[in-house]
Structure 1
Amino acid sequence: RPSLVGIRFRTDRRFCMESNYHGFAEGSGLLVDSDLGLVLTDRHSAPQSLGDIEVTLAGAATVDAEVVFVHPLHNLAVLRCDPVAYAALKKAKLPLKPARLATGRSASLQGGEGVHFVGYDNQGNTFSARVTVAAVYLPSGRDEFPLWDVPRFRERNLEVVVLADTPEEARGGVLCDSSGAVRALFASFDMQDANREESTEAYGIAANV
């Protein structure tokens, strides 16, 4: 849990290019480099570089961050915490621990596997739950990720992890094994529903991506 990060994004509605029309989003991420303060997250939580981003580390301290990388094809982004503020937190001995990502065969998931969800609820509190993988499949794109009414990123060509028993209160987090190795990022995907209204669904992105 020391590697879990809470994320808040906001921008003026006039500058919404990839974010929702409200210009505000909340999500979660994963501290992957404790030396540089790099955080892996999804494009719902950090949709664009034009805006203000705050990250809450170890559930205790909030610092500014910036987008340093947005994956051109998939729902992934990398943030960097403000170097000065982050260095001060390290000096204060805040328990900042990078995530340990699964490797090899453990970096992928299969239907029927049991894993642990660790993440945030809708109130921003951390919790964990035992969950089961329902399927790992490649969406067609027409149903899960249809075209937007306006030009905007949508996921394609990515196998997603679907849970059979997603906790109702889950806002985002990770799927890990009993040793704590992260096997998937439980990410938020922005999309349009059948009524052409914006919605968000959560799927896992395996660590081997």
Structure 2
Amino acid sequence: MSIRLPSALPRVLRALLACVFVVGGLVLAVQAPAAAACTCQPADAERQTSRADAVFIGTVDGVTRGDQQLEMAVTATRAYKGTVERSTTVTTATQSTACGIGEPEVGTDLLFIVRGDAPPYVANSCDGTGRLDPDRVAQIEGILGTGQAVQPPPPPTATRTLVEDSPPASLARLAAPGGALALVGLLGLVVVGRLGRRA
């Protein structure tokens, strides 16, 4: 884009103003993407694990994509830090410029280094969440130990009620069937007696 300046201005002044416009445009062009970039600072494994609230291995079972974040349904299999349930959720920003970790494929095993006291936990690209790698796992286990397997919840147990523990049936309930039979028998005798008189 050319900038036309009044010809009455001295040549040096016109040159200076033109430079100001050009440099200002370049500054804006450079600052626009920089302002949208991820601002978290990557750290080594020691610092990543120390500032994390939970560290665990899990399999991505499903991904729900929103406007600002992804929510991953995860089956945790081994925990190194924090109390992690077998079925849990982890969120991350949809954009890498907002420090998102990207959208994993369903079935992918990840090492989660996340923040949050309870699910959904939050993962970002600077905290160390990534694909499961033996060298990376060995590094984490060297810091936090071998961890513990995350067991599935126990199946529900059936409730048994012993007959002896049941309350006894009332006398009226026990006598009702016998009383009904006696009444039917009495009515039968009355009918037979009347038929015999008519004969």
Name the TM-score class by shorter chain. under 0.3
Q: Report which of the two has the higher share of strand.
A: 1
TM-score, length-normalised on structure 2?
0.21
* TM-score normalised per structure 1: 0.21
Larger of the two Rg values belongs to structure: 2
